[in-house]
Structure formats: structure tokens, C-alpha cells
Chains A and B, each alone.
Chain A
């Protein structure tokens, strides 16, 4: 069935390094993708989104890359800080109104 998965369940980086969190999706019809950040005990928080007519989108310290050919999505966090420690989820759907499907999440740990 349709699913969104993540390559790594955990990622540990040093403070100041760049982080890359990956996501693979299986529904080739998906044209809208979102990254969420969930800190311990809190609800998922929107980070950045991208639509399929784009390959790259940048926010503040974050960049999302979309490779439709291999159905791969990545979130890059520049100069990772301790406050970036959280679980990161990718989610995908179609703009025609399909269910927003969440991946299983990657736990990012930033070491001081």
C-alpha cells in the first residue's frame, strides 16, 4: 500500500554540524510534502513544505530537497543546535485530497 518511510530511525550529530534526514515515499502521485518536528511531550510542529513542481525549498536554517525520480525527500538542517533535538517526520499527500500519510520518524540527537 501507500507508505512514507524513513531511511534511519536515529541520527546523532555534533552541535554546529549539518544534519540530513532522509525520507522515501512510494506513492508517485504524491505532490505535496511536509516535514514536521516533534519535541518530547509536544505535538508535531510544521517546519517546511514543498510541492512537486519544486526540487528545493529553503527556510531558516532548513532546506528540503525533493527528488521525484527516485521518490526521495530530505531535510537538511544547517549548524545544528541542541534545540533541534527531536523526532522528525515526513508526510506526503496529493493536492486532490488524499490522506496526509506520515512516515515513522527519525530521532535526531544533537551532542554538545
Chain B
């Protein structure tokens, strides 16, 4: 079955360390997204990619980096520059363009805790 796989489900990081969250999809979607969720707040866009080897900053990109070397994969690195990284991170994918709304699919998320 097609879908999005995020790993790991729970992640603990020491302050000052970089950490990479994995997101893989087998839906043949062009677009992939990373969102962050904090308690009591809506999901906010960190980065998105419309096509391989291209990505754009979202609303809260500072302290994060991404790559899109393959259509199926869109890993997110939370760097030590991110001042408050403890949050729930959600990956999503969709077609791009007019039909995108019909194909939006979400992963199961990664809960990152800085200790």
C-alpha cells in the first residue's frame, strides 16, 4: 500500500546536537512538506519541495535544513541553531498544482524532545 513513512516515532536529542528526521513516500507525489506542531497551535510549515533538487522555506525555516535528492525522500535536519526544537514534526506529500488538494497524505509524525 502507498503511504508516507516517518521515522523514528520518538527521538531524544541533547542540546547542541543536530538530528535528522526521515520521511519517505511511495505515492509518486511531486511535492513534500515538513510541518511543526506545538501544543495549542496549528501546524506550521517549515520547508516544502515541489520537485527533486528544489525546496523552499516555509514560515518557520530558521534552524532547519532539508534536502530532496530523490523524489521519494525529504529528510529534515534540526540543527543546533533551532532555539526551541522540542515539538511534534509531521511530514506530508501531495501532487503539485491543481490536483494537489485531492492527494494530500500525512505521515504519522516524529516527536522530538531535547534533553
A and B are interacting partners: no
Residues of B near any A CB (own CB < 8 A): none
